[in-house]
Amino acid sequence: MLFRTAVNTDIPDVAAPHADSWRRFYRGAESDEYLDGAMPPKRLTAWSLRFTAPDPGT
């Protein structure tokens, strides 16, 4: 296994499992419309922000 620092081109590959996790574990707590529609792009945006302006405290 090879570990490396993630780069901007990795953002979709990081955001996708995060969105999948939300779909699996928030189903019933959040609307299907949100989980299947608006949420995945929001996870992509959130990870894009984390990559471009990381919080040094995390």
Determine contact, residues 38/10, Cβ cutoff 8 Å: no
Spatial contact of 30 and 39, defined as CB atoms under 8 Å apart: yes
What's the predicted TM-score (pTM) here?
Answer: 0.78
What residues does each domain of the chain span? 8-51
- Under DSSP, the state recorded for 28 is T
pLDDT in tens, 5-57: 889 999 999 999 999 999 999 999 999 999 999 999 999 999 999 988 877 77
